[in-house]
Amino acid sequence: MIEMQVDGRTIEAKEGETILSALKRQGIHVPTLCYMEGLLPSGACRMCIVELEGAPNFVPACSYPVAAGMKIQTSSPRVLDARRTIVELLLSNHPDDCLYCTRSGKCDLQTLAQNMGIRQRLYRGKRIEQEKDVSGPIVRDPEKCILCGRCVRVCEEIQGVSAIDFVNRGSRAYIGTAFDQGLNVSACVNCGQCIVSCPTGALSERSYIDEVVAALADPKKIVVVQHAPSISVSLAEEFGIEPGQDVDGRMVAALRRIGFDRVFDTSFSADLTIMEEASELAQRIKEGGTLPMFTSCSPGWIKFMEQFYPEFIPNVSTCKSPQQMMGAVIKTYFAQREGMDPAQIVSVSIMPCTAKKFESSRPEMAPGHIPDVDYVLTTRELGKLLHMFGIDLMAMTPQTADTPFGERSTAGKIFGASGGVMEAAVRTAHFLLTGHDAAKLEVQPVRGMKGIKEVRTKIGDLELGAAVVSGLGNARKLLDEIRAGRKDLHFIEIMTCPGGCINGGGQPIGADINAARARMQALYKIDQNEDVRVSHRNPYITRLYEEFLGKPLGEKSHKLLHTHYNSRDVL
């Protein structure tokens, strides 16, 4: 540790770290726009400049290393004036439609302007004139881009997709796709990590709030909704509550209050996914099928695989995702049981993921041209919908979800965390291969935020080699190892977003890694405290097979709950 002076007081810093890192640890706030935790600094925005005694110019705190005896001013008049000028220059050609912008109130540029007391436009630059890209689930508005580069970096360095990049140089620079095509024909996998990293409204999800409100107002429609496992532990943040609070019952009550006819829990169809997926894994192991088997519930990963690693299509489970399985049984079993016309059912899902919007629109997910799921809302969109209807979430009296798709095991609930699918599948695969449940259900090595986790676990006479990956950049590393000949793994879970669905591209804006950890811990707390912890013990799953599906991997379940994938060209 070394000592340095900051704003007249002495602080300690670690040798080799940056000034910004040392300041953050001491609780000294310095504004940033381009900085991304965990990545090498780019120093592009210069918002984090500080005054260093002896240096002829300002230095960027994000990239300048500490040294013993440094004397730094973080908020001197010169520093404040320079930062203010940077923001004023960014605003010089920025649109003034804050009242209508999807990020109003959660925009970093807006916050900086307010904090610095900027109340008028001092500089006027030539406006950027580029059309919005509304070709896919992710909407790009180039006029609101401030060229911080965060979206480019998360797409390339974290996700390994590189669907967008800087085009041209200097004043002509902008961020675009290959050949300036729409995102829908680019390498984009619709994960939405660019949206949560963007500091302005340049990136957002395509919203279906208006369509859902119209459906709720139509007396001829039966509007049903399902909510993903991670929604109940993240939605409260949209109402100013600390991350990690489970509001499942209050959310169910709120959804009923605004007019949904049935409220179902996607954790139920996560249990259904496990019954099919674990059965498929057991069958592949017993009969010498293609191994390792990859999970198929993360649509961003599926598109990534179709584009970059199509040779692994035979390795991917044919199971639909829990969202699509729920949609399928709603418009078949549920419709028959309730005597409803499937065409009159509007199926809405609430997901932590923008790629789920893409998944619901895949032609494979619309048998007979009737989509399994009609509209997908993100966690953020649900927050807006509840605010629109004047709902105070925390004032709602908790209610339970509707049967038959409201009962779940905790194995289905932990799907929301990286490692949750693996853990749930191992619990049921153990039962299918040995005839009894494992003595210890927790699979601790696959828990946590680490990008690649591996475990060896005994199931009867078999030593199962399993891996859990979150973040597509990490997926590339493991897939390249397998492509090069690695053969010790039987089962691999891949989640598109770092940490899994709890950190999805549709989750609340402004959250950090600690918020994701809090959500994850909330899911594991639920798993620890409830009684039904394995998917095959969910009584409504058993009933669904007895009354309708027959058996896992049977003819009817295969027709409704399984699908296929195809290789895709990449621009």
CATH of the domain at 474: 3.40.50.1780
Catalytic residue among 51, 143, 276, 277: 277
Active site residue 277: yes
Q: Which of 269, 548, 564 is nearest to 405 (CA)?
A: 269
Active site residue 317: yes
Active site residue 413: no
pLDDT category of residue 76 using cuts at 50, 70 and 90: very high
Catalytic residue among 297, 319, 353, 497: 297
- On whether both 254 and 193 belong to a single domain, the answer is no
Active site residue 21: no
Domain membership of residue 136 (yes or no) is yes
Catalytic residue among 101, 155, 319, 501: 501
- On whether both 192 and 224 belong to a single domain, the answer is no
Q: What are the two backbone dihedrals, phi and then psi, of residue 551, each rounded to the nearest 5 degrees? A: -155, 160
pLDDT category of residue 571 using cuts at 50, 70 and 90: low
- What confidence tens digit (pLDDT) does each residue in 220-254 have? 999 999 999 999 999 999 999 999 999 999 999 99
- On whether both 340 and 442 belong to a single domain, the answer is yes
- On whether both 351 and 329 belong to a single domain, the answer is yes
| CATH classification at residue 35 | 3.10.20.740
Active site residue 238: no
Domain membership of residue 138 (yes or no) is yes
- On whether both 404 and 530 belong to a single domain, the answer is yes
Q: At which of 182, 205, 228 does a domain end?
A: 205
- On whether both 228 and 365 belong to a single domain, the answer is yes
Domain membership of residue 288 (yes or no) is yes
Q: What percent of the chain has pLDDT over 70?
A: 100
Q: At which of 157, 178, 205 does a domain end?
A: 205
- On whether both 394 and 498 belong to a single domain, the answer is yes
- On whether both 178 and 227 belong to a single domain, the answer is no
**What is the three-state SS of 315-371?**
HECCECCHHHHHHHHHHHHHHHHHCCCHHHEEEEEEECCCHHHHHHCCHHHCHHHCC
**What is the three-state SS of 87-131?**
HHHHHCCCCCCCCCCCCCCCCHHHHHHHHCCCCCCCCCCCCCCCC
* Domain interval for residue 121: 101-110+117-205
Domain membership of residue 90 (yes or no) is no
- On whether both 424 and 377 belong to a single domain, the answer is yes
- On whether both 28 and 125 belong to a single domain, the answer is no
* 3-state secondary structure (DSSP) of residue 372: coil
Domain membership of residue 452 (yes or no) is yes
- On whether both 423 and 504 belong to a single domain, the answer is yes
Catalytic residue among 3, 311, 364, 547: 364
Catalytic residue among 356, 357, 413, 453: 356
State pTM to two decimals: 0.95
Average pLDDT, the chain: 95
| CATH classification at residue 166 | 3.30.70.20
Catalytic residue among 197, 317, 347, 349: 317
Domain membership of residue 59 (yes or no) is yes
Q: Average pLDDT for residues 95-114, to the nearest whole number?
A: 95
Low-confidence winner among 295-304, 390-399, 452-461 (lowest mean pLDDT): 452-461
Domain membership of residue 570 (yes or no) is no
State the Cα–Cα distance between residues 2 and 66, nearest whole angstrom: 9
Catalytic residue among 359, 381, 407, 423: 359
Domain membership of residue 89 (yes or no) is no
Active site residue 547: no
Q: How many domains does the chain have?
A: 3
- On whether both 523 and 421 belong to a single domain, the answer is yes
